Structure 1
Amino acid sequence: MATYVDILRSEFPEIDGELFSYVTGILDTSSSDFESEDDLFDAVGMYLQEVSSNSKNEDDIKRICQKMYNTLKVNDCTSSDKVLLDAPVQLSKITGTYDSQVNDVQGIWMMKRDPSSSTVNSKKLEKAEAKLKAKQDKRMEKDTQKSSGSILLEEASASQASSKKESRLELSGKNKSYDIRIENFDVSYGERTLLTGAEINLASGRRYGLVGRNGLGKTTLLKMIASRNLRIPSHISILHVEQEVAGDDTEALQSVLECDTLRESLLKEEKALTARINSGKGDGTESVRLSEIYAALEEIEADKAPARASIILAGLGFTAKMQKQTTKEFSGGWRMRLALARALFAKPDLLLLDEPTNMLDIRAILWLESYLQTWQSTILVVSHDRNFLNAVATDIIHLHSQRLDMYRGDYENFYKTKEERLKNQQREWEAQQQYREHIQVFIDRFRYNANRASQVQSKLKLLEKLPELKPVDKDTEVILKFPDNFEKLSPPVLQLDEVDFYYSPDKIVFKNLNVSADLESRICVVGENGAGKSTMLKILLGELAPVQGVRHAHRNLKIGYFSQHHVDQLELNVNAVELLAHKFPGKPEEEYRHQLGRYGVSGELAVRPVASLSGGQKSRVAFAQMTMPCPNFYILDEPTNHLDMETIEALGKALNTFKGGVILVSHDERFIRIVCRELWVCENQTVRRLDGGFDEYKDVLQEQFLKEGYL
């Protein structure tokens, strides 16, 4: 069978010797890297086209590349060993294209040629070599990732300037203060600097809300504090609610009680001492120790602990039955609630919460707001729920421009104060600019006037002494837009008639359910976790079929669905552009970038691995993916999770201007008030419309708390 050398010689008899060696060198050394004839064509096709002097078109070159690719694959299959030659092959003898004398015949690597005599474009040659090397490096990187089973993620790190005074105080054991002061520290994530020369002061007993745009490092800062990579006095206990409780045979209530390690150790010792006394093995000292234990248990009010733990669990949505279930019976969301309950019960000196409302329904959020308002120790919470911060925070810490700014008061006070600061800063900068220009005009006018030399010098010194003010560094405005170039549909476009649904006959979710929506609808679905909100959305989507009753959908209805789990299911080992290209192939890269840009994923963000994006940035990528097919109706399940406040506001505005229909599940009170005109309450196996809107629903929940004694 012909080899690729034979094919080259027969198809391109006029090929230049240097180009021949280059092409055969690539085919010989890189044959295993070519996954298709297209790869081979990318590597050498353009040079073969030049050699053919327009006698062969692109299709001819591709056909030849396919023939050579086939010979390479045959050779790979038939020979398992590579043969080393005893001596270099004289390419000049193989090609037969040289008329040189015998004494001029040398190996191609020994020959000196006049660069001007070559027909090869040297720039194109370098470009092809670079392209081939990049492709090989990329393939090698993918192979490495596949073999390791995961992608290599960047790591966060923190550094802090040491203080001898604080170190001496810590070592002496005399530091009894529960105030926390972290000065002059930096935080990085991989090569990106998140904070530089930052300072944070947390006064004991105050509740701090940490706010800022997605991706600036709020979650990373919490992790650096929790891991004590930043110096925290050792006597201050820290608890970071980050991971869900591990599932085992421990009952939920007992899992919470076990957080009080002192109570648990005293009870364990009391049980052991009682057993020794009852068995007659005691030596008389047990009774004394038991008295001490009982006194200690009474001092910490150990008998009230089960009731306190039960109230916390009930407030977070755990029924009496659920409190007796083992932790392994709960889903991930409920285990996160359990982790929050354990933290609230343990009462650490510093409680770190990262988006605690994401795992809760509105009922549980309202309870948590009330509970944290009576919290005695320090809280640092990352939240994008404006109402939650207004209810809980006594102070706001604003992360921006790689620094932290502190504000007294709740979020509304922070927002007003920040805006006023920015206006004053801008006015001061503009005034100084005008003053500088005025002085500079005088200097330029009299610079060469000997009579005014002293005045010019004075003005120059005055300019030097002026403080260097900077213009306001405003955050770029977040703008989202949902495409709506579609025709109007006659209502109703989506309807459920007399629908019954259950997963098993003994657990009915809905009975005689009747709801309808059209392209004018802006509906929010509320209700306790487990009431059936997500189930109803899936019935509306058509993912679940009613056991009885009918789902009606307009034949031209095109639904876009956003699930809170979609963010977790994005491809992590690709960038956002590649993710859209995999999902919607065949479009130019510019179109994918434009689509991502609509949701604030542009520039470097668009080509960064999805795994390295923050939760809010991943949500934006999920929005770009959802809206790519241009739906005319959106069903959104917790769309505000992980989004920063500016993006939540932009999302609300985008949904208001969207010409299609919207049904959403959300726990964000402000977002609901911005978007929704109807409120559907899931309860008692049905859905009812609440005429009084969100205010009426909130009043009903508050009455339930008071009645059931959760507050």
Structure 2
Amino acid sequence: MTTCSEYIKTTFPLIDDDLKQYVEDVLENGADDFENSEEVFEAVGEVLQEISKDKSENDIRHICENLLNMLKPEQTNGTTTSGSRILNAPVHLGSMVANSENNVEEVKSIWLMQRDDSLKVDARKLEKAQAKLQGKQEKRSKDPKMIATPKLETATASQVTSKKENKLEAKGMNKTQDIKIENFDIAYGDKVLLRNADVLLAFGRRYGLVGRNGLGKSTLLRMIAGGQLQIPSHFSILHVEQEVIGDDTLALDSVLQCDYVRENLLKREKEINASINSGVSDPNLSVELSEIYSHLQTIEADKAPAKASIILSGLGFTSLMQQKPTKTFSGGWRMRLALARALFSRPDLLLLDEPTNMLDIKAIIWLENYLQNWPTTLLVVSHDRHFLETVPTDILHLHTQRIDSYRGNYEQFEKTKTEKLKNQQREYEAQMAHRSHVQEFIDKFRYNANRAASVQSKIKMLEKLPELKPVEKEVEVTLKFPDTESLSPPILQLNEVSFKYNSDRVIFSNVNLGATMDSRICIVGDNGAGKTTLLKIIMGLLSPSSGVCHVHRNLKFGYFSQHHVDQLDMNINSVELLQQAFPGKSSEEYRRQLGSFGVSGDLALQLVASLSGGQKSRVAFARMCMGHPNFLVLDEPTNHLDIETIEALGKAITKFTGGVILVSHDERLIRMVCKELWICGNGSVKSIEGGFDEYRKRVEQELESSQNK
């Protein structure tokens, strides 16, 4: 194969390594079976043709004949063809679109990737060649060493850009403050997420991006941040996705370092002062130092530490925590640091993906208030309904491979969308009735000579009517927890329970609370107050330092936490995941269980790693309920779930015949299901009267008090 490999590389110098390996594998596996060059052409000809558009079919056949001669030097076959055409320069689709006003329809999109996509091959065109290999691969697949690890698909984007905007961008004259991303597609493997979509982000407005799990909201944010979708280069973009790296940098300094102008000025100030103190007498240094001081005063550099401290405090960092190195914080707190850095740096376009997931209710309320005065453009993906009703000025609705824009918050969006769908349905039904009436006339008098002109007129009128499509309604999300049998009380009782770690830091003490099979208990409190610790004591995963936790002997807990989603085996599909956890059942039973949580059809057979965060959560719910629990303990179950699924979760909890204890920061869910509210904090856990309204009132008073200090 060495000779063939070199020949392919020489003949197709721009061939992708993966495609080159594919062609070599086809030739290697079929070497014994190829009878003539025609069979070689059938196996790899279409692939080679796609790689090199400048070569004719005869050129490719000639290349296939040479390959056969290298595979079977003793065999000569057919006649050779000559006259290969070689272009004197590469053809690039991007420049074709940029320099032509009339070929947008011909060149549908420009792939904004690092590789030249003119070298890519459509997977469907490989089917014929792949079928040729299938028999060989089945034999080789029996060897465990030859079984390849499943390969995850990656997201790709394509976009048509206008000649005018390209010229302005090239000259550096594009100074617009609004961001227009027009006529773009996004795909994930073979699945098209967006087609011919348009997004307009007006400067100073706050956009909430909503839509069902798995439709591509997070992917769209990554495409914008990563440059796969083209926007004017003078915009600064910050996408809060990854946590801050843990090192010796103090939390406060980590935030201040985002102001690069201030940091560079302070660094240069130190260098100049060091030079002057060492005896350097350069008058230019004194002039530069004066300019630096003036610039620092202009940007109010002295106020920066106070501004950074306010942001950190709002996100839950105490004064002591702000002076700790970033490496001392957990992943959740480092995500808060990343959010603090973004808020402090104030980019032209801030992209936030589920910012409330890592926050407690107090920090969420602070963030809602802070973002209402955000000075630049904000695009946020969130499934927290109260957040979406408080922060956005506009809603972008992603559905059916398109994005619709609505003015107002989420509540206004829902009203407008509902009315819009009703109007579309009425218009569709009216047109269908009109079409039916006209068609009856045509059918009745089609062969009546006296009515021929009238019939022809009706036919032309039908042809001119705009073709309306029926309204596509999104499938309603349903979740169903298993039915349980009632247990006689007492079910669950905490008597004088206390807990402290080895450091003697008391988390809570003297807890006296209980639960029944009818309980719908919601636990709230600041992060680190001991909510998850309390849940683990209830389930027997931790032992209290003192006191007793009484649990009914037939009580069977179903425990869900956000960490369970992260700990799913990503390299198998959802059916196999349930099969591993609960072996011995039929495939239909596993699929039925997944279907009751909205994971059905082909979705159940996809790799878990390829699922969205919300879809993974549903799989985790399905696995939890395979054990038929009669008491649910749910720790932050709404993370990554879309609004419709959160609504379905609330309904499922309400209908569940067992008990429920829930830790959540989602105000909508708490209000839907909560019958009793436990507040965890200040070294205690207490049930309060007045429910969530009373708790929110206390938090707002606490925030107002801290801001006035």
TM-score w.r.t. length of structure 2: 0.80
Q: Distance in 1 between matches of 2:416 and 2:139?
A: 53
Shift of 1:141: 8.6
Q: Distance in 2 between matches of 1:589 and 1:575?
A: 12
Aligned pairs, number: 577
Contact 2:184 2:198 in 1 (8 A): yes
Q: Name 1:679's counterpart in structure 2.
A: 677
CA deviation vs aligned residue, 1:118-153 (integer Å, no higher than 9, x gap): xxxxxxxxxxx99997596386598432xxxxx522
Q: 1:511 and 1:643 mapped to 2: Cα distance?
A: 34
Aligned to 2:400: 401
1:358 — aligned with what? 357
1:518 maps to: 516
Letter in 2 for 1:212: G
Specify the alignment match of 2:624 in structure 1.
626
Q: Residues 409-558 of structure 1: matches in 2 within 5 Å?
A: 409-484=408-483, 486-558=484-556
Tell me if structure 1 keeps the 8 A contact 2:394–2:409.
Answer: yes
Deviations 1:34-74 (A, max 9, x none): xxxxxxxxxxxxxxxxxxxxxxxxxxxxxxxxxxxxxxxxx
Identity of aligned residues (%): 66
Which one of 568, 574, 577 corresponds to residue 575 of structure 2? 577
The DSSP-based 3-state class of the residue aligned with 2:273 is helix
CA contact (8 A) 1:522 1:676 kept: yes
- Conserved? CA contact 2:558–2:632, under 8 Å: yes
Q: Is the partner of 1:566 in helix, strand or coil?
A: helix
Trace 1:20-35 onto structure 2 (pairs within 5 A): none
Q: Secondary structure at the match of 1:285?
A: helix
**1:606-645 superposed matches below 5 A:** 606-645=604-643
- Secondary structure at 2:157 match in 1: strand
For 2:636 and 2:538, locate their aligned partners in 1 and report how far apart those are by CA, in whole Å: 16
TM-aligned CA distance change 1:201 to 1:554, over 3 Å: same
- Verify the 8 A CA contact 1:208 1:393 in the aligned structure 2: yes
Shift in Å, 1:491: 2.4
Q: Is the 8 A contact 2:485 2:657 kept in 1?
A: no
What pairs with 1:213-362 in structure 2 (closer than 5 Å)? 213-362=212-361
Distance 2:479 2:275 in 1: 70
Q: Over the residues paired in the alignment, what is the CA RMSD in angstroms?
A: 1.6
SS at match of 2:562: coil
Equivalent positions of 1:650-689 (< 5 A) are 650-689=648-687
SS at match of 1:478: coil
Are 1:315 and 1:710, in contact at CA under 8 Å, matched by a contact in 2?
Answer: no
SS of the residue corresponding to residue 482 of structure 1 reads coil
What amino acid does structure 2 have at the position aligned with 1:164? Answer: K
Partner of 2:45: none
Q: Specify the SS of the correspondent of 1:543.
A: coil
Q: In the alignment, what sits opposite 2:111? A: none
In 2, Cα distance between equivalents of 1:455 and 1:333 = 73
Q: What is the Cα deviation at residue 170 of structure 1? A: 1.2
- Cα distance in 1 for partners of 2:154, 2:219 equals 10
Q: Which runs of 5+ in 1 are unaligned?
A: 1-128, 146-150
Counterpart of 1:137 in structure 2 is 141
CA contact (8 A) 2:208 2:388 kept: yes
Are 1:311 and 1:710, in contact at CA under 8 Å, matched by a contact in 2? no
Could you tell me how far 1:564 is from its partner in structure 2? Answer: 0.8
- Kindly tell me: are residues 207 and 520 of structure 1, through their superposed partners in 2, closer, same or farther at Cα, counting changes over 3 Å? same
Matched position secondary structure for 2:141: helix
SS in 1 for 2:398: strand
| Change in CA separation of 1:355 and 1:345 when aligned onto 2, cut-off 3 Å | same
Contact 1:263-1:302 within 8 A present in 2 as well: yes
Tell me, what secondary structure is at the counterpart of 1:565? helix
In structure 2, C-alpha distance between the alignment counterparts of 1:465 and 1:132, rounded to whole Å: 55
Pair 1:452–1:230, CA change in 2 (3 A): same
Q: Deviation string for 1:581-605 (max 9, x for gaps)?
A: 1110000000000000000000000
Contact kept? 1:499, 1:547, Cα under 8 Å: yes
Could you tell me how far apart the structure 1 residues matched to 2:224 and 2:579 are? 39
Taking a change above 3 Å as real, the CA distance of residues 378 and 141 of structure 1, as seen in their structure-2 partners, is farther
Contact persistence 2:140–2:146 (CA under 8 A): no
Note closer, same or farther for the CA distance 1:364–1:138 as it changes in structure 2 (3 Å cut).
farther
Contact 1:491 1:517 in 2 (8 A): no
Comparing 169-178 with 334-343, greater Cα deviation is found at 169-178
Where structure 2 has 5 or more consecutive residues not aligned to the other structure, the ranges are 1-132
Task: Give the 5 Å matches for 1:584-623.
Answer: 584-623=582-621
Match of 2:703 among 694, 702, 705: 705
Aligned AA for 1:452?
A: R
Question: Shift of the alpha carbon at 1:162?
Answer: 2.1
Letter in 2 for 1:569: Q
Answering whether residue 206 of structure 2 is matched by residue 207 of structure 1, we say yes
Provide the C-alpha distance between the structure 1 equivalents of 2:452 and 2:224, rounded to a whole number of angstroms: 58
Partner in structure 1 of residue 51 of structure 2: none
In structure 1, how many angstroms separate the alpha carbons of the residues matched to 2:708 and 2:200?
33
Task: Summarize deviations over 1:690-710 as a string: whole Å, max 9, x none.
Answer: 201111111111111111117
Q: Quote how far apart the aligned CAs of 1:503 are.
A: 1.5
Letter in 1 for 2:290: S
**Counterpart-to-counterpart distance in 2, 1:434 and 1:138:** 61
What is the rounded CA distance, in whole Å, between the counterparts of 1:153 and 1:296 in structure 2? 50
Contact 2:141–2:147, Cα closer than 8 Å, also in 1: no
Displacement of 1:281 in angstroms is 1.5
| Equivalent residues of 1:205, 1:375 under 8 A apart | yes
Counterparts in 2 of 1:141-220, with a 5 A limit? 143-145=147-149, 151-220=150-219
Contact 1:540 1:551 in 2 (8 A): yes
Aligned-pair CA distance for 1:176 = 1.6
d(CA) in 2 for partners of 1:656, 1:132: 55
